[in-house]
Amino acid sequence: MKTTNTRMGRLAAWCGALGAALWLAGCAVTDVGRAPQMAAGDTVAVLPIVNYTETPQAGLRAEAIAESLLKTGGVTNLKRYPASLNPETLFEPAERESVGKALDWARGERARYALTGAVQEWRYKVGVDGEPAVGISLQLIDVATGQVVWSATGSNAGWSRESLSGVAQKLLRRLLAPLMQG
């Protein structure tokens, strides 16, 4: 009888640990700073999000999702930098200097803030299930001073049947939440 209770206890502990591991596998890790008070008329320029991954155009994908989320979140005065300022192509990664050039462009546009960042991970993990995994850092820059006034970073892994863009959208929504007005 004692052996059965010990086995049942081990099985229950193992099931609990497995359940916790499965729950954590679908969760995001995020660190989000306190956002500045943005006035309703403030213009936010979306600058290049640098791609530090091996996935072509991951930065461009993150930019498109972030811009859409900000618009649907109530940021109405959004401007996107001209495509000529981002050298990212299918075979050539973006360079950090493109952010500086785009920040100069934002100053010329009289934007109040500029959103930029970096993609550290954008892929399907190798393995049986191939879970989508995304890692992104964002910064909001005061265009006049060049100072970073807000930052956020996070990573998220989804389940094997989720899309990579869906996992990225969930993560970006959590990261951008302090900037959204609606």
pLDDT at 5: 57
161: containing domain: 27-179
Q: Domain total for the chain? A: 1
Which runs of consecutive H residues, i.e. helices, occur in the chain? Answer: 2-25, 58-72, 97-108, 164-176
In this predicted model, what pLDDT tens digit does every residue of 73-93 receive, in sequence order? 999 999 999 988 876 655 555
pLDDT at 25: 45
In this predicted model, what pLDDT tens digit does every residue of 30-82 receive, in sequence order? 899 999 989 888 999 999 999 999 999 999 999 999 999 999 999 999 999 99
pLDDT at 182: 53
Is residue 16 in some structural domain? Answer: no
Is residue 82 in some structural domain? Answer: yes
pLDDT at 85: 82
Is residue 164 in some structural domain? Answer: yes
pLDDT at 92: 52
Whole-number Å distance between alpha carbons of 125 and 131: 5
Is residue 10 in some structural domain? Answer: no
In this predicted model, what pLDDT tens digit does every residue of 131-177 receive, in sequence order? 999 999 999 999 999 999 999 999 999 988 899 999 999 999 999 99
DSSP state of 41: T
Is residue 158 in some structural domain? Answer: yes
pLDDT at 95: 63
What is the CATH classification number for the domain harbouring 167?
Answer: 3.40.50.10610
